[in-house]
Every structure is written in structure tokens, then in C-alpha cells.
A and B are shown apart, each in its own frame.
Chain A
Amino acid sequence: MDLFLQYVANGVVTGSTYVLVAVGLTLIFGILGVVNFAHGEFYMIGGYVGILAITVLKLPVFAAIAVVLLAAAVIGLLAEAILHKPLKSHDATNSIISSFGLAVALQNAALVVMGPQPQRLNLDVSKIPILASIPTDFGPVFLPQQRTLIPLTMVILIGVLYVILKYTWTGRSLRAMAQHPTVARLCGVRIQSVAVVTFMVGAGLAGIAGMLMSSIFFVYPVVGNMIALKAFTVVILGGMGNVAGAAVAGLLLGITESLTSAYLANGMRDIVGFVIVILMLLFRPQGLFGKVAERS
């Protein structure tokens, strides 16, 4: 039983990463209708920028987080200019191909700049004043601080995002765009700035996830591939465009994977999510929490 709880806790940690990546993806899809296959690259860039900021620039952790956010926002801006702005009038397959191209380009740019060898962020969290106070033992479950940090950050960021979406004008215009772009425009929502904000927020969340994970798992140029695919799984499970659904589905996927690798076979770990997603799309394409009706 104790071991089971430990597996669940490990699943929650990886699941939180999926949530951070998937929420941005689902926002970009729900609000702009862009299927962004380059989303995993935001994660990859976040990881690399975090490593560079801390090991090369010797910045303190919180400054490094700011640098990661800034870099991710710039990449998000760039991605919007490539994937959304010039393609508005064309059909959705174009954004699929285009983002696929962007993903390939960014991965290989990373390969050229950073090299193929996996890198890791060596960060001793216990030396950082605020973070050191995070407990490491939760009953029978043991989690090092840099692992606990991930679900913690996820809850805070998603909470903030939820409040922004619900109660601010920016959030209202984002939701208005998601419901009906034309009517939103008639009501004075600036489509261009909404698009840029959406991409920046999505990239920022994924970038932070990448940085946090870089102290646990290795970062390498194609690390985003698997993460993006998992995030798509989560987005489909939660229902395309559904933020709360993505949050629940992300944690569920993380836990499922952790339990699969513990009790079935480690090799099955990455496959299980894709099998679920194919079955899901066949039998319940609106997602676990989606409504049956789809907007045209």
C-alpha cells in the first residue's frame, strides 16, 4: 500500500507537467483553433533556458524563472506570428503542417546550438531559503523538494490562470473568442492581442514546466516530442479547449503511466497514453468531460 501511494505521488509529479503543457495547448486550440504541434518545443526551450540561466549566467532561481518566462513569451510571440497571423484565412490542416514544420525547425536549431547530449539542471533546492522549507515526507511517501515543487507550481499557476480567465477583462475576451470569434470581434475584442496573449501564456506555462522538470529528467533537443504528444492525449481526454478537463486528465495520465510502469511493464509506460487516446477518439471524441454538441 505504501509503495502504491509512492507510485501515485510520482504520477502526480509527472502528471503536473502534463497539466502545465496541456493547459496552454488546450487554450491555443480552444481560443484560436490552432493545433500547435510545436508546443513541446516551448517545454524544451524552457528547460534549456533554465539550465543556461542557472549554470552559465549563475542567476538565482527566481531570476532564472523570470528569464525562462521572458524567453517563452518571446517564443510564443514568434509562434503566433508564424502559426496564426499569416494563416488566419486558411483551413486548420495548414496550421497543423506549419506547426509541425516549426517543431522540426526548433528541435534542430536546439540540436545545432546545444548539441545532442542530454543535459540536466544541477540545482540543490535545499539551499534555497523559501523552497528548503517544503517538507519531503508525506506519511509513507517521500518526495524530494524539486519534485514537490512541480505540483505546487502547477496548482498556483493554474489557479491564477483560472482566476484571470474568470474575473478579468482579458480573461473575458479570451473566453469570448473561444465561444464565437466573429461576435467577439463585433463586441470590440481585439483578436490580434488575444491571439498573442494566448500564445504567450501557453508558451510560458510549458516553459516553466520544462525548467522545473530539467532538475529531475534530462533535457535534449527532441524531448518536446513525447511531451507534446502526451499533452495532446491530455487535451483530448479533457475535451479540446477545456482547461479544467485538461488539469484533471493530465494528473490522471501521469498516475496511469506511473502505475503501468510499476505493475505492468516499464516498456508499456509511454504506449498506454496513446492507446487510451485512440480508444477515446473512437468512442468518446468529445473527451471525458466534454459536452456532446460541438460548435461549428
Chain B
Amino acid sequence: MKPYLTGLGIALALAFAPFFLGGYETNVLMMMLFFIILAVGLDLVAGYCGQFSFATGAFYGLGAYTAAILNRDMGSPIWLNLPAGALVAGLFGLLLGIPALRLKGHFLAIVTIAFQTIVYLTISQWTSFTGGQVGLSLANPAPLNLGFVTIEMGSLRSYYWLTLAVSVICLLVAWRLAHSRIGSEWIAIRDDETLAAAVGIDTTRGKLSAFVASAALAGVAGVLTAHALRGVTPDDYTIWISATVVAMMVLGGRGTFIGPILGAVFLVLVPELLGKFAEYKMLIYGVLLVLAITLMPEGVIGRLRKRAAR
């Protein structure tokens, strides 16, 4: 029960945060939540299942563009876009998972990068469908009418609470997955695929489910982001995003669940704190990534756990 209570406590604290914070800080918190979903999602496939993916940005973008295109063509609200974005991204995750069945390590990394690039090139060049380099804009969310009360969804606070609620659900799902039988299968596949197959684990199902879960979570984050920014442009979903999310996961600790969350919090806060040095953000991410993998390949949480175990 302890992790659930801790999570609940943090979620409650975050729910009250907008009363004490200004608009800017609330936006930063929201950005942090998006990246927490992305980093935890990547952790499922890369940290738990050991299948390295550099395509997080692509799934993030697929979710965002699903929301934008549905909103443009059918005026669909965010309630519908969230499952739709998760579904579309999840299907593409399945598609990317298929080559992953046969490929390992560097080959897989290259395929995921190729996939990321194909998605980026498609959304930036298929102008008639995706708006090309300019992107698309989303309509203001309609007020939510519950019968007895009408909630204005356009305001920053209500959107923040929605984001928080969706993030909590995503994290709960991810936590349950990681700590269920399927999560144990992922770890078994990561540690020794041959052995896992030998003891009767369906490695095909294991890998595909990890890819789909990770992609669907990124899709949800994409839908949330598209509605938050009221628009999508291809340059928000580049390989840089993938790099950032990989950095968050590695820095915090692969396969530790809490590590990528802390990594996301840290790497979203750092550029905000840097102020006018924010243009060095990606430079710092790159250097951090190199240093982390050289000095502490298991990440901060991984290192702490190792020490505790000793």
C-alpha cells in the first residue's frame, strides 16, 4: 500500500498547487506531467523490457496529430481524443514492435530512429492532411456540462486538473503493468531472452505488449499536449524529444519506475531555472547523457538501490 499512499499524497499536493502558483508555474507543472508520462512509458519498453526505442517523439506526435486532425475534421472533444490518440499511437507501436521481434540492440535502435524520422518527414510534408510545417490549430475546449454545474474547460486551472487526473491514471496503469505478471515477463525478456523463452514465456507477446503500452502512453501525452498548446507543429515532435525522454529515463534509472519520473522532473525544471542560459538546454542534456552513461549507467535510483542492497 505504501507506494499508492505516497502517490496519492503527491497527487493531492499537486492538485492544490495551482492555488499557490501563478500561470507560468502551473504551465511548467503541466509540462512536467507530460514528460513524466513519456518517460514512464519509455521505461516500460526500454527499462523493463530492454527494447531500446528512440521513437518516443514519434508516438507523442502521432497522439497529438490524432487529436488535432479529429478536432479539425469532426470537432471531437478531448474525452474522445484521449482514447483515440492512445489507440492510434498504440497501433503504430504494434507496427514498430513487429521488427523488434527479430532485431536486437543497435539494429533495433536504428529501426526506431528510422521510424521516428519517417513519422516526422510524413507529418511535416503531407501538407494537405497534417498542415505541413505550419501545423494545425485546435479549437478551444467546450465547457463541460454535468447537469447541475458547468465547468469551464478552457481555463488553465481546469485543464491542469484534467492533465493531472489523466497522468495519475496513466501512472497507475503503468505501475500495475510493471508490477504484474506481464511486467515480470518483460524483466525476464530483458535479462535473458533465451532463458525467458525456455521457461515458457511468450516473448513475442511480451515484447509487443511493451511496445504497445509505451506507445499508447506517449499517445495520451501527445493528445494532452496538443490540447494544452491549442495546436501542433512537426517541430514539437522531433528526435530531440526522443533524446530528451531517453535522457530523463537514463538519468533517473532504467527499469526503476520512480527514476524516470524524477528524471523528467529534473530535466523539465533545469531549463526553467537556467533562465537566459536556456538556449544551452540541449547541450546540457547531451553532456548529462554522456556523463550519466559513463559514470552511472544504472541511473540515480538504480545506484541508490544497488547501494541499499549491499
Q: Which of A100, A109, A281 interacts with B246 by CB under 8 Å?
A: A100
Using A35-B109, A107-B282, A108-B283 as known contacts, say yes or no to A94 and B114 having CB atoms under 8 A apart. Answer: no
Interface size class of A (residues with CB under 8 A): 35 or more
CB <8 Å contact, A278 and B109: no
- Cβ of B267 within 8 Å of any chain A Cβ, yes or no, is no
CB <8 Å contact, A96 and B106: yes
CB <8 Å contact, A271 and B105: no
CB <8 Å contact, B290 and A87: no
Q: Which of A82, A92, A104 interacts with B285 by CB under 8 Å?
A: A104
Q: Which residues of B contact A87 (CB under 8 A)?
A: 293-294
CB <8 Å contact, B294 and A86: yes
Using A98-B290, A285-B107 as known contacts, say yes or no to A229 and B279 having CB atoms under 8 A apart. Answer: no
- Cβ of A270 within 8 Å of any chain B Cβ, yes or no, is yes
CB <8 Å contact, A229 and B99: no
CB <8 Å contact, A90 and B297: yes
Stretch at the interface among B15-23, B118-126, B143-151: B118-126
CB <8 Å contact, B54 and A278: no
CB <8 Å contact, A97 and B293: yes
Which chain A residues (72-91) contact chain B, with CB distance < 8 Å?
82, 86-87, 90-91
Interface secondary structure of A, over-half rule:
helix
CB <8 Å contact, A101 and B293: yes
Q: Which residues of B contact A35 (CB under 8 A)?
A: 105-106, 109-110
Which chain B residues (281-310) contact chain A, with CB distance < 8 Å?
282-283, 285-290, 292-294, 297
Using A94-B293, A236-B107 as known contacts, say yes or no to A101 and B286 having CB atoms under 8 A apart. Answer: yes
Q: Which residues of B contact A281 (CB under 8 A)?
A: 99, 102-103, 107, 110-111
CB <8 Å contact, A100 and B52: no
CB <8 Å contact, A108 and B280: yes
CB <8 Å contact, B99 and A278: yes
CB <8 Å contact, A106 and B118: no
Q: Chain B's nearest CB lies how many Å from the CB of A199? A: 15
Contact with A along B223-264 (1 / 0, CB 8 A): 000000000000000011001001100100000000000000
Which chain B residues (63-118) contact chain A, with CB distance < 8 Å?
98-99, 102-103, 105-107, 109-111, 113-115, 117-118
Cα distance A236–B103 in the bound complex, in angstroms:
12
Q: Which residues of B contact A91 (CB under 8 A)?
A: 105
CB <8 Å contact, B250 and A97: yes
- Which residue, of B115, B125, B287, B293, has the highest number of chain A Cβ atoms within 10 A? B293
Using A97-B293, A285-B102 as known contacts, say yes or no to A274 and B286 having CB atoms under 8 A apart. Answer: no
CB <8 Å contact, B294 and A82: yes
CB <8 Å contact, B125 and A232: no
- Cβ of A103 within 8 Å of any chain B Cβ, yes or no, is yes
Q: Which residues of A contact B240 (CB under 8 A)?
A: 104
Cα distance A213–B110 in the bound complex, in angstroms:
24
Which chain A residues (261-293) contact chain B, with CB distance < 8 Å?
267, 270-271, 274-275, 277-278, 281-282, 285
Q: Chain B's nearest CB lies how many Å from the CB of A4? A: 25
Interface secondary structure of B, over-half rule:
helix
Q: Which residues of A contact B122 (CB under 8 A)?
A: 271
Cα distance A229–B99 in the bound complex, in angstroms:
18
CB <8 Å contact, B121 and A229: no
Q: Which residues of A contact B246 (CB under 8 A)?
A: 97, 100
Using A82-B294, A108-B283 as known contacts, say yes or no to A271 and B107 having CB atoms under 8 A apart. Answer: no
Using A93-B105, A112-B279, A281-B103 as known contacts, say yes or no to A101 and B288 having CB atoms under 8 A apart. Answer: yes
Q: Which residues of A contact B126 (CB under 8 A)?
A: 267
- Cβ of A225 within 8 Å of any chain B Cβ, yes or no, is yes
- Cβ of A105 within 8 Å of any chain B Cβ, yes or no, is yes
Q: Which residues of B contact A277 (CB under 8 A)?
A: 110-111, 114
Q: Chain A's nearest CB lies how many Å from the CB of B119? A: 10
Which chain B residues (39-73) contact chain A, with CB distance < 8 Å?
52, 54
Using A101-B288, A104-B285 as known contacts, say yes or no to A282 and B99 having CB atoms under 8 A apart. Answer: yes
Q: Which residues of B contact A285 (CB under 8 A)?
A: 102-103, 107
CB <8 Å contact, A282 and B102: yes
Report the nearest A residue to B287, measured CB to CB: A105
CB <8 Å contact, B121 and A271: yes
Q: Which of B106, B113, B125, B279 interacts with A92 by CB under 8 Å?
A: B106
Cα distance A89–B288 in the bound complex, in angstroms:
20
Q: Which residues of B contact A225 (CB under 8 A)?
A: 239
Which chain A residues (16-48) contact chain B, with CB distance < 8 Å?
29, 35, 37
Cα distance A96–B293 in the bound complex, in angstroms:
10
Q: Which residues of A contact B286 (CB under 8 A)?
A: 101-108
Q: Which of B113, B114, B289 interacts with A97 by CB under 8 Å?
A: B289
Cα distance A146–B278 in the bound complex, in angstroms:
39
Q: Which of A98, A103, A111, A270 interacts with B293 by CB under 8 Å?
A: A98
Q: Which residues of B contact A226 (CB under 8 A)?
A: 117
Q: Chain B's nearest CB lies how many Å from the CB of A26? A: 12
Report the nearest B residue to A270, measured CB to CB: B121
Q: Chain B's nearest CB lies how many Å from the CB of A108? A: 4
Cα distance A102–B111 in the bound complex, in angstroms:
20
Contacts A92-B105, A271-B122, A278-B115 given; 14 further ones with Cβ under 8 A?
A: A37-B113, A82-B294, A91-B105, A98-B290, A100-B246, A101-B243, A103-B286, A106-B286, A107-B282, A109-B283, A232-B110, A233-B114, A271-B118, A282-B99
12 contacts across the A-B interface (CB closer than 8 A): A37-B113, A92-B105, A94-B297, A100-B243, A100-B289, A104-B285, A104-B286, A108-B280, A108-B283, A226-B117, A232-B114, A233-B114
